[in-house]
Structure 1
Amino acid sequence: MPSLPSLTDGAWTASPWLMAPAALILWVAVFLAVKTIVLGAMRGVARRTAWAWDDILIDALSVPLLIAIVSSGLVVFNRILPLQPEWDRAFDILFDFSIVLALVMFVDRATRGVLDRFAAGSAVMQGARGLIQAGVRGVAIGIGILIFLDSIGISITPILASLGVGSLAVALALQDTLANLFAGLYMIADKPIEPGHMIRLPGGEEGHVTKIGWRSTWIRQPPNSMLVIPNAKLAGGIIINYDLPQREIAVTVPIGVRYDSDLGSVESVTLDVARGVQRTVAGAVAEAEPVLRFLGFGDSSIQLNVTLRARDFTGMAEVRHEFVKRVQSRFRQEGIIIPYPVRTLDFPPAHLEGLKDILGGGRRD
């Protein structure tokens, strides 16, 4: 430590050893007052606007500005004192470190505010919030260290080269893990599925999405078992989402009636049953109008489809169940027959005698 010079009482008033602390205190006090006034005014303006990002920016600036004010005051303190060059160098390094620290803290606090805002409205972001914040924080700290080393005269070129080679080796070793990570980030950003959605996978598995993590997605299947699938496999497959673009879902029931049926009566009776199901079944959409369309002539019946609307995938089974029960009962009352499969075989007359003999029809007493 440098020793204080011997000064008379009158010389102390003009001494840099008195002026430097006074300048430091005055510098910090003035700029803290300016900081308080400016940030207070900015908060007042932010409260009157619907834009939420200004609140995040103001909150992120508070602590980094305090660090910058104190570190710059120390530089003023150093410049006033008649110190040795090595002390000047030490204060310069301290200032560089403080500014880099302030920038890293600003990025970290701003990132946390943005993630908190997104996580408030997204269950998916809540699960990935910690991972994303840790990743951004690590990148910010790494860049901050490189900036600090470069500012104090240490060459960062060998470090960058080593980081490049090391990153390549890590990427190759963690290829599957990184594929799942980026697939999870893609699903969080693109939102093809979200927790609570009912989906079907290419292999026929279906269930409700319960969690989208950074490595895998969890799906609760109807038997109450949990299917855990890697994000990379899920993102690369064809997914049927029953909750997009809306939760309502069409319930199509195929029916066949005899060829001699009165199709007008069939249509009227079937739609009457379908409307009753739509109005009374809990899982159905009460205001929806069912649709009936004749499809064509089948092997043993005239084919038609009836389409009803369910509130969601869970209600689809209930709507179909109740409609099949009611339409079968009503058809019995109206005399409308749903035929068994019938196939008519035509044989050339020359073959009939032989068939009769084989079947016993040509036996004579």
Structure 2
Amino acid sequence: MKEITHFLIENWQVLVLPTAVFGVVMVAGIFARRLLFSRLHRWAGRTKGHVDDITLQSLHGPFLFWIAILGLHLATQSVELPPKASALLAKIFLILWILSLTIVCSRLAVLAIKHKGNKLYGALPVTTLTQTLARLFVVSCGALVLLNTLGISITPILTALGVGGLAVALALQDTLSNLFAGFYLSIAGQVRAGDYIKLSSGEEGYVADMDWRSTTLRALANNYIVVPNAHLARAILTNYHLPETRMSLSIPVSVGFDADPDVIEQVLVDEAKAAAGEIPGLLAEPVPFVRFIPGFGPSSLDFTLICQVGEFVDQYFVQHELRKRIFRRFRRDGILIPYPARTVFMREQEGFMAPPSANSHRNAASA
């Protein structure tokens, strides 16, 4: 480096030609880049696939960097430099080429995984952890190529990593536990980005992201819940989006003892079928049905209306609208929703009062 500095100070006139060469290459490269990418974007817009779009997006930024490296290389070739300086600059340019290609390949791999993972059913969930693993793999390959180019043997490095691996594993036990737990969850496919899950400890929400340390849930209150991956892997959880997003919804309905169970069943089914095409989230198939469960209550006949909703959050609005429709139908058809009725026995001073007659039971119930 001292030789290069001394040479430039003593012979500053020689910088004129390299500077001119560098400027010409940059201007020509920028013009060619604009012309080339404009035509490539028009061509990509006419194709149906997304491979060309991903490739252009990955190359758009680094292409200007490659032009600068080419300009510097041609500029150094246009002037006489000491052999050591020429060899040093050539090695620096080679390192820059390898680093830039590694960055491009890393970006291309992440974009391809993100696109394909969102398109293929059952593919690896596209989370931050998945993208980080893909980027780490490409960067590792690039680092091996760079070390090989520089003539550095990787065998001692691997030996040192093997010896220090145990100490690192013990020091980063919790971190590695979260890392491998997140990797396992991503590979298993039981927790995916966008799924609504509920843990046995009570936390629930949509899976917003999964990184190397934790999984982020977005609750219905629009808050983030951060759960360590190791805790998530050990927890008993319910995934409301697997094996499909459709789920059953049970709505309890109570009527008086004088109601006809067959009539109540038909009324509830008719209201649910009529609402299937009007209430968002309520599905017409499978057909709604009613069961006389739990059955005989203390002061009512208890039924359960069972229908299907599109996904977990649809149940709230569906219950809201269905209950209003059922209430209006009951009021129109004269079907009573009973009040709780109780029979009270009064204790006398010297003993119990005689139990009331059957007529008094009816009077108490009607009251």
TM-score band, normalised by shorter chain: 0.5 to 0.7
Post-superposition offset of 1:99: 0.7
Encode CA deviations 1:83-110: one digit per residue, 9 max, x unaligned: 8xxx424422331221122210232245
Q: Distance in 1 between matches of 2:107 and 2:314?
A: 40
Aligned residue type for 2:282: V
Q: Distance in 1 between matches of 2:176 and 2:222?
A: 30
- What are the within-5 Å matches in structure 2 for residues 4-19 of structure 1? none
8 Å contact from structure 2 (residues 21, 74) kept in 1: no
Aligned residue type for 2:59: I
- What are the within-5 Å matches in structure 2 for residues 47-58 of structure 1? 47-49=42-44, 50=47, 51-58=52-59
8 Å contact from structure 2 (residues 199, 238) kept in 1: yes
Larger Rg over CA atoms: 1
1:291 aligns with 2:288: yes
Post-superposition offset of 1:220: 5.2
2:334 aligned counterpart, secondary structure? helix
2:192 aligned counterpart, secondary structure? coil
Post-superposition offset of 1:279: 6.8
Distance 1:112 1:222, change over 3 A: closer
Aligned residue type for 2:150: L
Distance 1:32 1:88, change over 3 A: farther
Partner of 1:149: 150
2:282 aligned counterpart, secondary structure? coil
Q: How many equivalent residue pairs? A: 315
Partner of 1:306: 305
Aligned residue type for 1:292: F
Encode CA deviations 1:166-216: one digit per residue, 9 max, x unaligned: 345324422331332354466678593335x53212445423445544422
Partner of 2:95: 100
Distance 1:338 1:323, change over 3 A: farther
Encode CA deviations 1:129-188: one digit per residue, 9 max, x unaligned: 9967985797477446523531xxx55543342234334532442233133235446667
8 Å contact from structure 1 (residues 273, 326) kept in 2: yes
Aligned residue type for 2:55: D
When structure 1 is superposed on structure 2, of 90-99 and 219-228 the one drifting more is 219-228
8 Å contact from structure 1 (residues 100, 144) kept in 2: no
Post-superposition offset of 1:55: 0.7
Q: Distance in 1 between matches of 2:89 and 2:178?
A: 41
Partner of 1:8: none
Post-superposition offset of 1:292: 0.9
Aligned residue type for 1:63: F
2:191 aligned counterpart, secondary structure? coil
When structure 1 is superposed on structure 2, of 28-37 and 209-218 the one drifting more is 28-37
Matched-pair identity in %: 26
Aligned residue type for 1:56: Q
8 Å contact from structure 1 (residues 215, 231) kept in 2: yes
TM-score by length of 2: 0.58
Q: Distance in 2 between matches of 1:260 and 1:308?
A: 26
Match of 2:163 among 162, 165, 180: 165
Partner of 1:66: 68
Q: Distance in 1 between matches of 2:14 and 2:205?
A: 74
Q: Distance in 2 between matches of 1:289 and 1:21?
A: 80
Partner of 2:334: 333
Q: Distance in 2 between matches of 1:208 and 1:42?
A: 39
8 Å contact from structure 1 (residues 207, 219) kept in 2: yes
1:253 aligned counterpart, secondary structure? strand
8 Å contact from structure 1 (residues 180, 230) kept in 2: yes
Q: Distance in 1 between matches of 2:148 and 2:78?
A: 24
Q: Distance in 2 between matches of 1:140 and 1:64?
A: 20
When structure 1 is superposed on structure 2, of 161-170 and 325-334 the one drifting more is 325-334
Flag structure 2 segments of 5+ consecutive residues without an equivalent: 8-12, 119-124, 342-353, 356-367
2:266 aligned counterpart, secondary structure? helix
Q: Distance in 2 between matches of 1:318 and 1:35?
A: 56
- Note the aligned Cα RMSD (angstroms): 5.6
Flag structure 1 segments of 5+ consecutive residues without an equivalent: 5-17, 341-359
Post-superposition offset of 1:333: 3.0
Q: Distance in 2 between matches of 1:132 and 1:293?
A: 50
Distance 1:185 1:101, change over 3 A: farther
Aligned residue type for 2:73: S
1:313 aligned counterpart, secondary structure? coil
Q: Distance in 1 between matches of 2:229 and 2:182?
A: 6
Q: Distance in 2 between matches of 1:57 and 1:320?
A: 48
Partner of 1:230: 228
Partner of 1:111: 106
Encode CA deviations 1:284-330: one digit per residue, 9 max, x unaligned: 53867851154799788999642234465344245446656765783
Encode CA deviations 1:15-57: one digit per residue, 9 max, x unaligned: xxx9999799779967985896488436523431242123135
TM-score by length of 1: 0.59
8 Å contact from structure 1 (residues 32, 66) kept in 2: no
Encode CA deviations 1:244-273: one digit per residue, 9 max, x unaligned: 677664312356899997554233122234
Partner of 1:347: none
Post-superposition offset of 1:112: 4.2
Distance 1:339 1:255, change over 3 A: farther
